[in-house]
Chain A
Amino acid sequence: AQSVTQLDSQVPVFEEAPVELRCNYSSSVSVYLFWYVQYPNQGLQLLLKYLSGSTLVKGINGFEAEFNKSQTSFHLRKPSVHISDTAEYFCAVSDPYSGGYQKVTFGTGTKLQVIP
């Protein structure tokens, strides 16, 4: 069974400072990994995804994430945050599509609060 752990429920950070949101996963097979962002009272928007290849993945809004297989991690980073980055961020893991349903497991979310 696959699972996702987001270690921090809330992360406060000052504007223009760097941020890292942590995500660890467990799975018995190779996985695909995703980060989504959710603004208040809205749906989830895909930030980036890791499928294969380069372990450093770049996404929208200046975010990037690094896949580390040995540490089973997929941490999200941004070198300089803006007020508009205040939102909740979800890490998700998915088993490769095998012709059946591709189950996606979501973490419990990390609320990023950018302080002016």
Chain B
Amino acid sequence: DGGITQSPKYLFRKEGQNVTLSCEQNLNHDAMYWYRQDPGQGLRLIYYSQIVNDFQKGDIAEGYSVSREKKESFPLTVTSAQKNPTAFYLCASSPGTGEVDTQYFGPGTRLTVL
């Protein structure tokens, strides 16, 4: 079945540590996205990538980094510079072509900083 996988589902981090969240898709989509979700705030865009080896900052990129070395993979690193990293992180992908570009979401990773 085609879809988006995120791992791990739950992640615990000590303050000062970097941590990497995995996102893989087998939908052959060109575009991929990372969102952060906090209670009562909806989804906020961290980074997006429209093509391999290219990515752009979203609205809240500070303290995060990404890479896009393969079409199917878009890992997100939460660095120690992120002041409040505890949140639910969602990865999404979209075809990236055509006029309407619907985004499809993975199951999410819940990150908790201890």
Contact = CB atoms under 8 A, between A and B. Distances in A.
Interface residues of B, number: 27
B98 interface: yes
A46 B102 contact: yes
Contacts of A51: 100
B105 A44 contact: yes
Interface string A29-65: 0001010100001111110010100000000000000
A42 B109 CA distance: 9
Contacts, number: 52
Contacts of B6: 43
Given A44-B90, A97-B101, A106 B106 contact: no
B110 A41 contact: yes
A34 B104 CA distance: 12
B42 interface: yes
Nearest to A102: B101
Contacts of A94: 101
The interface size bin for chain A is 20 to 34
Given A43-B6, A103-B45, 14 more contacts: A41-B9, A41-B108, A41-B110, A43-B4, A44-B92, A44-B105, A90-B43, A97-B98, A97-B100, A101-B50, A102-B101, A104-B45, A108-B40, A109-B40
Interface of A: 9, 32, 34, 36, 41-46, 49, 51, 90, 94, 96-97, 101-104, 106-109
